[in-house]
Each structure stands twice: as C-alpha cells, then as structure tokens.
Amino acid sequence: MPARAFPLRRATLALLPLYPALAIGGALTHRAALSLAALLLLVTLWLLPRLLAGSVRPWIGWGTAVLLACASAWLGLADRLLDAVPPGILAGLALWFGATLRAGREPRVARFIRVLEGEAQLARPGVARYARGVTVFWTVLLALQALILAALWLRGLFDATDLPRWALAYQHVGGYLLIPLAFTLEYAFRRWHLRHVQHPGLHAQALQMMRHWPQLLHDTHRHR
C-alpha cells in the first residue's frame, strides 16, 4: 500500500459529510452555488486518487464534470442535477450488495467481517448467517430508497405542480439521514443479537475500513 493511501482515504472520508451538508443547504436555501459546490465536491473526492496520480483521463473527466455542472447552474438545473445523484449512487450500492447474494458468492457483509475481523470471527456461531441477512437488508433498503428518490425526482422533473412539503423534506433531508440512521440501528441490533461475539467499536471499525478499503471493493473470495 502506498504510504499516502491511508491518509488520503482518511481525508476523503472526513470531507465526504460536506456533500450532504452542501446539498441540503442548497435545497433549503435555493442557492445554486451550494448545489454546484456539492456536485463538484462529490466528483472531486471520487476522482481524487487518480487526479493526484497525474493521469490525464481523470483530469479530462473532472474538467468535463465542472463544465457540465456550470452549464446546469447557468440553465437553472443545478438542483435537478443534484437530486438525480442520490438515486444513482443508491442503486449502484444496492447492486454492489445484491450481486454477492448469488450462489457461489460471498455475501458482501461476510467479506467485510472476514477482511476486517478475520476468518475466526466469521466462523463463530451465527455470524455468517447474520452477515448474509444484513447483506439482504442493505440490498433491499438501498434499492427501495433509490426507487423512492427516483420517483420523487421524476415527479419534480415532469410534473408542473410542486411536491408536497413532506416529500420535499424527505427528498432533500430525510433521504440523507436514513442511511446513517439504519447503520446505527443495525449496529445496535448486532451488538444485542450477537452478544456472544466481541465487536469492535464504531471508531475502530471505521479505521479498519479505511485501511482495508481496496480489499473490500474486490470480490476475490468465493464459496466452494
């Protein structure tokens, strides 16, 4: 692992919460500049490792994204473009989790446990079964959330009437809060349900994920 890889991932994760903050601020204040900043921050963090590596293609992609974002702001479409980002991300994450539920594949959460906590932890009674269940949970939750936000986005895009206040609140605020809330509740349930197993704290777990993130992204382990 390059010496700067871990600090770079740590800085990226530290800056990532600015995205929903800017996005929510742009939606609530109707300031296109905040929505534009949220979009550019997300694209920059996504491409940052490749940008720092000096590759030409990522810089072209980043420059294209900047031009598209500026054009959307000039056309008054920055908010619409920003609202389309969460459904796309959530749909991709749902596929990322769900694809590992096929026969012969290791469920995504099981891989997390094996990489972060070791084979012995995954072999403890009930852990592998729970890991598969949590993988199903995240697949379904992320897919439903993507569908709901996509439906709200399409309604706002093609329907002349404004969305109800509760729908706007969920689209611009509640949708961002659901994932961390679900993660916190799942973690609390896991501590109770698997109380015979020692669990790392949330801070330690986050540090481990940053250290081993490349291993978590690739499906190199399959059931035999």
Distance from C-alpha of 142 to C-alpha of 148, rounded to nearest angstrom: 10
DSSP assignment of 114-152 equals HHHH-HHHHTSTTHHHHHHHHHHHHHHHHHHHHHHHHHH
Helix (H, G, I), strand (E, B) or coil at 50: helix
- What CA–CA distance (Å, rounded) separates 189 from 172? 27
Express each pLDDT in 101-151 by its tens digit. 998 889 999 998 888 888 888 899 999 999 999 999 999 999 999 999 999
For the chain, the structural domain boundaries read 1-76, 83-224
- Paired with 222 in beta bridges are 105
* Confidence label for 16 from pLDDT (cuts 50, 70 and 90): confident
Distance CA 132, CA 224 (A): 16
Selection from 219, 213, 215, 216 nearest residue 104 by Cα = 219
Q: What is the pLDDT of residues 204-220, one digit of tens each?
A: 776 676 676 666 666 65
DSSP structural state of residue 222: B
Place of tokens 């590596």: 53
Tens of pLDDT along 75-91?
Answer: 776 677 777 888 988 99
Residues 211 and 86: their CA atoms lie apart, in Å, by 26
